[in-house]
Structure 1
C-alpha cells in the first residue's frame, strides 16, 4: 500500500516563533504588525498564540505595535463602503460616542490587533480615527503625542516607529494593508488635503464633534508600490503558519515609497 500524507499539523506558539525567527524578526526590536488570522491556517490558541509567539521572539526588550483604527468615527459624508443617506449625517455627528482610548473598540483591524489593544500593559494613542496600540518598553514613546491634524504623519506613531528604526510585519496580508506607506504621502511636497471630522471626549468627560484639515489618504496603489518595493530585495518573505509573512525595515519601505509616489502619482495625474 502506498502511504499517503495526513492532514497538515496544527501551527503552535513554538512553530510560529521558529518561523518568525527564520523570517528575521529582531530580538529587542519594535515591530508594527498588520495581520489577518485566517490565512495563517489552524493555529492552536488562535490570536493569543500568534501574539505570544511574536513576544517570544522579540523578548522582554521588544515592542509590538498594531493599528487600532476606528474608521466609523469619521465624517459620514465621506463614507463609501457603504455610503449613508445625507439626512443621517447630522445624527451621526451629534450622537457618535467620543473616542476613548481605554474602551472604544477597534472593529475593523482584526482579532490580533484587538487582542494587543486589550492586553495588560498596552498603551494606545488618542487619535479618534487612526489610533495605534503598543505593548512593550517603547509603547509610551510610540503612542504619545498623536496629533489630531497629522493622522499618519510626522506627529503620529508611524513617525516614532521611523525614529526607532522599527520593522513592519505583514502576516497574511499584502502591502495594501501597509499603513506605514501613508507616512510617505505626508512627505510629498504638496499632498492634496481635505476636511476631516470625528467625535472626541472633552476634558469634562462629555463628547463633541471636531473638524480639522489633513491630507487625503490614498492606499489604492499601495499593492503595486509593494510589488516594486519587494523587487528591490528590501522585503523578506517566508512562511508563517499556512500563510506568507513579509518583514521589512520601516525606514527602507517609507524612503522607497517617498520616491515611488513622487514618480508615479505625478505621472498619473499629469
Structure 2
C-alpha cells in the first residue's frame, strides 16, 4: 500500500461493529473463562473479525477476564531449531547440515522469537512481566500469578510431558482455550502421548545459547509427536459434552478443562493407536 500501512482484516458483512477489549472480555466470560483461571490459549486472531487494536486487544481482554490471580499461557515454539537431517518441508542438502548445526544462533528465552504458532504467542512472550520456559524447541510463555510455576523446570528430555509447562497446567487444574482453531492446535494432547506405556522415541537436536554467550548443539532422546489423529480425538472428546462452545468475536471458541481432555486422550490413544499399530 502506498501510504505504508499493512492491509487490515476486513470486517465480515454480518459484523455490525468492531470488536473491542470490552466485547471480547464479555464473550470470554460467557464462554466460561473466569478470574483466577490458568488457561492455555491457542488462537487464530484473524478469525475474530475486525478488532479495534487487533491481537493487542485480545491479550488485554484475556488478562482483564483472568484478573491479577489468573495466568495466561501460550506455546512459543521454535520448530526451526531442530536437526536439519529430519527436515522435509523442504529438505536441505546433507552438505548443509553441519553448517546449520554449527551456526544457528542458540535458543535464548529472552531473544529467540516463536515461529509458526501465530501472533498471539509472540505478543504474550514480549509482554511486560512474561516468563518463558527454556526448552529450545517447545517453550511456553506465561503471564500472571502462576507464571513461574508453569515455566519452571522444563526438562529437555520431557518436552511435552509431566515436567513441562503442559504438566504444570495439568497440576494447576487449568483450562484450554481454542479460539478459531481446532484440536490439531491443542498442544495439551501431546501430554497424553507422553503418558502412553511405550511411546516411540528418537534422538532430537537443537542449538542453545550457553552461559558463555556462544551457541552449542545439544542432542537428547525424547518422545516423537504425532498430531495426525488429534482432530478425530478432539471430535470424540467433544461428543462427551465436556467442551463449552460459543463465539468470541466472530470466531468459534472452545473451552475445556485440561485435565478432562488429557485424561480422555490418554485412554483414547491407548486404544486407537494400538489398533492402528502406532
Partner of 2:113: 105
Correspondences of 1:132-211 after superposition (within 5 Å)? 132-211=140-219
Gaps of 5+ in 2: 1-12
Q: Distance in 2 between matches of 1:168 and 1:117?
A: 18
Partner of 1:44: 52
Partner of 2:86: 78
4+ aligned runs moved over 4 Å, structure 1 = none
Give the count of matched residue pairs.
Answer: 266
Which of 7, 13, 20 in structure 2 is aligned with 1:12?
20
Q: Distance in 2 between matches of 1:6 and 1:141?
A: 42
Q: Distance in 1 between matches of 2:35 and 2:101?
A: 44
TM-score (norm: length of structure 2): 0.94
Q: Distance in 2 between matches of 1:151 and 1:29?
A: 24
Q: Distance in 2 between matches of 1:129 and 1:167?
A: 23
**Structure 1 residues 249 and 6: alpha-carbon distance in aligned structure 2, compared to 1, 3 A threshold:** closer
TM-score (norm: length of structure 1): 0.96
Q: Distance in 2 between matches of 1:263 and 1:6?
A: 43
Q: Per-residue deviation at 1:107?
A: 2.4
Q: Is it true that 1:129 corresponds to 2:152 in the alignment? A: no
Partner of 2:238: 230
**Structure 1 residues 194 and 7: alpha-carbon distance in aligned structure 2, compared to 1, 3 A threshold:** closer
Q: Distance in 1 between matches of 2:21 and 2:234?
A: 28
Q: Per-residue deviation at 1:27?
A: 1.1
Q: Distance in 2 between matches of 1:60 and 1:116?
A: 16
Q: Per-residue deviation at 1:7?
A: 5.2
Q: Distance in 2 between matches of 1:77 and 1:264?
A: 30
Which of 251, 262, 272 in structure 2 is aligned with 1:264?
272
Stretch moving more, 210-219 or 196-205: 196-205
Q: Is it true that 1:220 corresponds to 2:193 in the alignment? A: no
Q: Per-residue deviation at 1:77?
A: 1.2
Q: Per-residue deviation at 1:81?
A: 2.0
Partner of 2:123: 115
Partner of 2:253: 245
Task: Say what the alpha-carbon RMSD is for the aligned residues.
Answer: 1.2
**Structure 1 residues 208 and 246: alpha-carbon distance in aligned structure 2, compared to 1, 3 A threshold:** same
Q: Per-residue deviation at 1:162?
A: 0.3
Q: Per-residue deviation at 1:8?
A: 2.6
Q: Distance in 2 between matches of 1:47 and 1:39?
A: 11
Q: Distance in 1 between matches of 2:34 and 2:272?
A: 32
**Structure 1 residues 187 and 6: alpha-carbon distance in aligned structure 2, compared to 1, 3 A threshold:** closer
Deviations 1:166-209 (Å, cap 9, x if unpaired)?
00001110000000000000100000001100001122221110
Q: Distance in 2 between matches of 1:142 and 1:25?
A: 19
Q: Distance in 1 between matches of 2:27 and 2:195?
A: 34
